[in-house]
Amino acid sequence: MRFFSCLIVLGCLLAARAAATSSPPGTLRSPAVAVANPSHELLIGITRAGARLVAVGGHGLIIYSDDDGQTWRQALVPTSETITCAAFTDPENGWAAGGQGVVLHTTDGGASWQLQLTGNQVLQLMTKAAAQFAAANPTGDASARALRRSGIFATAGPNKPFLTIIPLNSQSAIIFGAYRMTVMTADAGKTWTDWSLHVGDPVSHAIYDSIRVGSSDYLAGELGVVLRSDDQGRDFSMLTSPDSSTLLGILSTPTGSLLTFGVAGEVFRSTNRAGSWSPSNTSYGSDLTGGLVLNSGAVLVVDEDGGMHESKDDGQSFQNVDLNERMALFGLVQAANGDVVFVGSGGVRVEPAASFN
């Protein structure tokens, strides 16, 4: 499943984050509806804005907590589209993105958001970029592919989701999604540029996750795709693929190892910047849908069935953590007090840091 429907959780992040047909009419510019217990609703991703926790989910829901996940408030969000991801450059400034090509921006730590981009605008940017590229490169297959791809997007319409964000600084971010849909801003979102032609994947796989490691940025996605940029996101090049299985996440350990994980419970480890990969010692049939490197250096990954799996040997092997949450888990983050906060199909769960020592 490469696209994103109405976020009916089927117990798999692929269904929750990346399927996509059309959304119900009117959701794009209808504010998110206030709900009585927002921390009990479907949540797909979670991140930190300084000490604040910010979680995102279905129907435009964005919530935030200033007490390490114990209580939550609903943010003011100008769309009811599902929000799949959020990222911050500092405690105040950040972006969120999701279905129908929606991009949101905040300058108050996620308490309120402004709509900066929609799918129709993304299509316009893509069409313009493809035409400019073809004009500058009148011969060759690359120009033909760019024009053909932009035409396919235009015909399909603005129904594709964004799925992951690399925040470069308070002014700049790159946002990635289905079919290599990519946009970039260098002025805090006042203007956006199609950036898909800077991602060196001619097949246009979906990009599910991203991570910054030192001065390099990595992407992981559909059918085992891994890419890296060593020039602040200017260009992303294809790297050795660990496997043909779809990758839903990528992490970097304190030693500098890379870990990728995803469909069918597979984890792969690289100690040479994705030059080669080896499988970790795992035996999970469930899709691994989220991961986190704890303050202790241990690695924690979660799955669609509520399972948690911890590695204390730099990702070489994982052991089950007996804290089954009885809901599909999609994201996790460590709060300022050390507790681990999970989000998923049933909302928010908080586990003490001692559970993972």
When pLDDT is cut at 50, 70 and 90, the band that residue 4 belongs to is very low
| Overall residue count recorded for the chain in this entry | 357
The verdict on residue 304 lying in a domain is: yes
* Residue 129 located in a structural domain: no
Confidence of residue 190 (pLDDT cuts 50, 70, 90): very high
Question: To the nearest whole percent, how much of the chain has pLDDT over 70?
Answer: 92
Q: Do 12 and 37 form a contact (C-beta atoms < 8 A)?
A: no
Other CB atoms within a 10 A radius of the CB of residue 162 amount to 29
**Whether pLDDT at 3 is above 80:** no
Does the residue 185 lie in any domain? Answer: yes
Tokens standing for residue 246 = 């779809």
* Within a domain: 235: yes
pLDDT digits (tens, 9 = 90+) for 131-183: 999 999 988 889 999 999 999 999 999 999 999 999 999 999 999 999 999 99
Within 214-335, strands assigned E span: 216-221, 226-229, 237-238, 247-252, 258-262, 267-270, 278-279, 288-293, 299-303, 308-311, 319-321, 329-334
Please list, in sequence order, all residues whose beta carbon lies within 8 angstroms of the beta carbon of residue 16, skipping any fewer than 6 positions away.
Answer: 7, 9, 10, 42, 44, 328, 330, 345
Is residue 74 a part of any domain in this protein? yes
Give the number of other CB atoms < 10 A from CB of residue 37: 9
> Measured in whole angstroms, how far is the alpha carbon of residue 355 from the centre of its chain?
26
Residue 170 half-sphere exposure toward CB, CA atoms < 13 A: 8
Lowest-confidence pick of 6-20, 28-42, 55-69, 173-187: 6-20
Q: Considering only 2-11, 57-66, 85-94, 195-204, which range has the smallest mean pLDDT?
A: 2-11
Residue 206's CATH number? 2.130.10.10
**Domain tally for the chain?**
1
What one-character-per-residue DSSP string does 30-89 give? SPPPP-S-GGGS-EEEEEEETTEEEEEEGGG-EEEESSTTSS-EEPB-S--SPEEEEEES
Q: Taking 70 as the threshold, does the pLDDT of residue 349 lie above it?
A: yes
With DSSP H G I counted as helix, E B as strand and the rest as coil, what are the percentages for the chain, rounded to 5?
20, 35, 45
Task: Give domain status of residue 56, yes or no.
Answer: yes
The residue ranking higher by pLDDT, 17 or 140, is: 140
* Confidence (pLDDT) at 285: 80
pLDDT at position 25, please?
A: 53
Residue appearing with tokens 């100690």: 271
Mean pLDDT of the chain, nearest integer: 91
- Determine the Cα–Cα distance for residues 228 and 218; give it in Å rounded to an integer: 4
Domain that holds residue 105: 13-27+40-118+158-351
The reported pLDDT for the residue numbered 24 is: 56
Digit-coded pLDDT (tens) for 113-128: 999 999 999 999 999 9
Q: Is residue 8 part of a domain?
A: no
- List the structure tokens of 310: 């911890």
For residue 146, tell me if it sits in a domain: no
Beta-carbon count within 10 A of 70 CB: 14
Compute the average pLDDT of residues 2-26: 40
- Cβ pair 340, 353 in contact under 8 A: yes
pLDDT band of 23, cuts 50, 70, 90: low
Instruction: Give Dmax over CA atoms of the chain in angstroms.
Output: 61
Instruction: For residue 294, give the nearest of 333, 325, 238, 260 by alpha carbon.
Output: 333
Confidence at 282, pLDDT banded by 50, 70, 90: confident
Q: Tell me what the mean pLDDT of segment 279-284 comes to.
A: 84
Report, as an integer, the average pLDDT of 46-51: 98
